[in-house]
Chains A and B, each alone.
Chain A
Amino acid sequence: MTELPQSTQKKLGLVIDLDTCVGCHACVISCKGWNTENYGAPLSDQDAYGAAPSGTFLNRVHSYEVQPDTGPAQLVHFPKSCLHCEDAPCVTVCPTGASYKRVEDGIVLVNESDCIGCGLCAWACPYGARELDQAAGVMKKCTLCVDRIYNDNLPQEDHIPACVRTCPSGARHFGDLGDPESEVSQLVAQRGGVDLMPEMGTKPVNKYLPPRPKDQPPDLDVLAPFLAPIDQEPKGFLGWLDRTLDKI
């Protein structure tokens, strides 16, 4: 049923650290790898080796340039997947009940056997988290690797989403954001984690940790202008060449 639950027992989600993400796209690849081989329809590609390749991805990494008022520009890598919103607009618009938010952990899922592929949920999502698979004709989205996190066939360390498991820089964290004592909630509190597009009223569960302030360049010595230049005038043959070419 596409009515949203009043509250969920847990709020499982991701915390993404924009300070440590190096933009390697490993999470994109591991996500596609896991989710194309496991739960639901595979994530298809069209014209994969041709002139105009295109495919379904549940996680994509953008890169933004941020120019402060003073100082050099910063490059921020920005992984983006479903934020498993508390007030998920994608769920309520679904005409068939295929989209739902789980009461037990707050994960937003699509029941693919009920999806008619109308695309309205993708229209309702401000984050571009849902993509209609062009081969299967059904809506695909991040499942928070629901088939990993509760999977007793996997060793304990793999009971986290594939993207989190694979991230080499520790920029992705998984946990219960509804529990203020959880590690992820503590991290969000310490680092001032934020919601994307809060004005949309979606109340995302996933949080983003903003980049830490950059170091300022060290103050130069006040005597610096009076120091002898290190870059000296060339001598010998090069000096002659330099002077001669200047005259021409």
Chain B
Amino acid sequence: MHPAPSVIFFSVFSGLGFGLLFWLGLGWPSATGIVAFVFFAIAYVLAVGGLIASTFHLGQPKRALKAFSQWKTSWLSREAICAVAALFLMAIYGAGAVFYGQHWRVIGVLGALLSLGTVFTTSMIYAQLRTVPRWHMPLTPLNFLSLSVAGGALLAGQVTWALWLILIAGGVQLATWIIGDTRFAASGTTLATATQLGGIGQVRAFEPPHTGTNYLLREFVHVIGRRHATKLRVIALGLMVVVPVILLLVPFSHIAGGLALLAHVAGVFTARWLFFAQAEHVVGLYYGKR
């Protein structure tokens, strides 16, 4: 799949933003006043910034409001609704913390759950697609959720939680990669099933429909990323897990915490880029490509 920068930015930043909102909603940290304002500002910049970035890949962004209508069947629509509901509730909760020094617990917990729900619905947009076997598994939502909660803990300054959650997220990420590698073969989709010509003999794509490229090839066939996949995985895991864990284990300072956060986010970016670049859509088979 084509790793569109807008979608990668969106999913990484909104994942972090909603992860932070999750912790804030639960009352960890239970800050008030100006400190709470800074926490909420960071969370909203990340979450809303991510959502705005996601509209950049739309062909007709001016009609984006229509995307709220099809929650009965569409995960994308559910994501839009969940995101707005989470941002709305957390704004009320945040106002209470910033201006009144109050933590309205019920609203906070509801907002925290909706924040997680937003990340879950985002991940289900990918996990629902049978056409991309690497994504079509329960590990995809687990991968998104674990990274969001871990990154959120890091942003929220919950050092102990962050330490363990980053380790868990790293484990889930490894499993996602290793099991993901087997998914295309396990899906059973081949050029033979795509063309139904396998009964005659060995099928080979002889000539594409056009000499040039097209939307399908640009969107679904991306080979460059896979060449360095192993190196990038090592880099991603190092930045995402190893560096932050070491920095969190040394006595806490804000500089070490900031560096841990930067490394973690860079690692998540690399992993998210690979999430798209390595994913293979079955339509590539028709073109003799993967």
Contact (Cβ within 8 A) B214 A125? no
In the complex, chain B residues 219-273 whose Cβ is within 8 Å of any chain A Cβ:
219-220
On chain B, the residues within 8 Å of A208 by CB distance are: 196
Contact (Cβ within 8 A) A92 B74? yes
Contact (Cβ within 8 A) B130 A126? yes
Q: Is B178 in contact with chain A by the CB < 8 A criterion?
A: no
Given contacts A80-B209, A199-B193, 13 further A-B contacts (CB under 8 A): A1-B72, A2-B72, A78-B195, A89-B130, A89-B131, A93-B125, A95-B67, A116-B61, A116-B67, A120-B125, A128-B216, A137-B60, A196-B194
Contact (Cβ within 8 A) A132 B59? yes
On chain A, the residues within 8 Å of B57 by CB distance are: 118-119
- The distance in angstroms between the C-alpha atoms of A200 and B76, with both chains bound, is 21
Task: Please judge, given known A-B contacts A114-B66, A116-B58, A116-B60, whether A60 and B203 are in contact too, CB under 8 Å.
Answer: no
- The distance in angstroms between the C-alpha atoms of A67 and B203, with both chains bound, is 7
Task: Please judge, given known A-B contacts A93-B76, A137-B60, whether A64 and B203 are in contact too, CB under 8 Å.
Answer: yes
Q: Is A117 in contact with chain B by the CB < 8 A criterion?
A: yes
Within the complex, what minimum Cβ distance (angstroms) separates A235 from chain B? 45
- The distance in angstroms between the C-alpha atoms of A78 and B287, with both chains bound, is 11
B80 nearest CB neighbor, chain A only: A95
Which 8 A/B pairs are nearest by Cβ-Cβ distance? Answer: A117-B59, A137-B59, A60-B209, A68-B201, A96-B66, A128-B283, A95-B67, A95-B76
Within the complex, what minimum Cβ distance (angstroms) separates A158 from chain B? 26
B209 nearest CB neighbor, chain A only: A60
Contact (Cβ within 8 A) B200 A123? no
* Contact for A80 among B67, B189, B200, B286, CB less than 8 A: B286
Within the complex, what minimum Cβ distance (angstroms) separates A137 from chain B? 3
- The distance in angstroms between the C-alpha atoms of A155 and B199, with both chains bound, is 41
On chain A, the residues within 8 Å of B60 by CB distance are: 115-117, 137-138
- The distance in angstroms between the C-alpha atoms of A116 and B63, with both chains bound, is 6
Within the complex, what minimum Cβ distance (angstroms) separates B140 from chain A? 14
In the complex, chain A residues 67-94 whose Cβ is within 8 Å of any chain B Cβ:
67-69, 73-76, 78, 80, 89, 91-94
A89 nearest CB neighbor, chain B only: B130
Q: Is B87 in contact with chain A by the CB < 8 A criterion?
A: no
Task: Please judge, given known A-B contacts A62-B208, A128-B283, whether A96 and B70 are in contact too, CB under 8 Å.
Answer: yes
Contact (Cβ within 8 A) B66 A126? no
Q: How large is the interface on A (under 10, 10 to 19, 20 to 34, 35 or more residues)?
A: 35 or more
On chain A, the residues within 8 Å of B215 by CB distance are: 54, 56, 122, 131-132, 134
Contact (Cβ within 8 A) A92 B73? yes
Contact (Cβ within 8 A) B196 A97? no
Contact (Cβ within 8 A) A196 B73? no
Contact (Cβ within 8 A) A65 B70? no
Q: Is A189 in contact with chain B by the CB < 8 A criterion?
A: no
A118 nearest CB neighbor, chain B only: B58
- The distance in angstroms between the C-alpha atoms of A98 and B125, with both chains bound, is 17
In the complex, chain A residues 179-202 whose Cβ is within 8 Å of any chain B Cβ:
194-201
A interface residues with partner B (beta carbon < 8 Å) = 1-3, 18, 25, 28, 52-57, 60-69, 73-76, 78, 80, 89, 91-98, 114-120, 122-128, 131-134, 136-139, 194-201, 208, 210-211
Within the complex, what minimum Cβ distance (angstroms) separates B47 from chain A? 19
Please name 30 pairs of A and B residues whose Cβ atoms are closer than 8 Å in the assembled complex, sorted by A: A18-B197, A53-B212, A56-B215, A60-B214, A63-B205, A65-B204, A66-B202, A67-B204, A68-B200, A74-B201, A89-B130, A94-B74, A95-B67, A96-B63, A115-B59, A116-B58, A116-B63, A118-B57, A118-B59, A120-B125, A122-B219, A123-B220, A125-B131, A126-B130, A131-B214, A131-B215, A196-B193, A196-B194, A199-B193, A211-B197
Contact (Cβ within 8 A) B131 A200? yes
Within the complex, what minimum Cβ distance (angstroms) separates B80 from chain A? 7
- The distance in angstroms between the C-alpha atoms of A117 and B125, with both chains bound, is 15
Q: Is B281 in contact with chain A by the CB < 8 A criterion?
A: yes
Task: Please judge, given known A-B contacts A56-B215, A131-B214, A136-B59, whether A120 and B76 are in contact too, CB under 8 Å.
Answer: yes
* Contact for B283 among A52, A93, A120, A126, CB less than 8 A: A126
Contact (Cβ within 8 A) B131 A123? yes
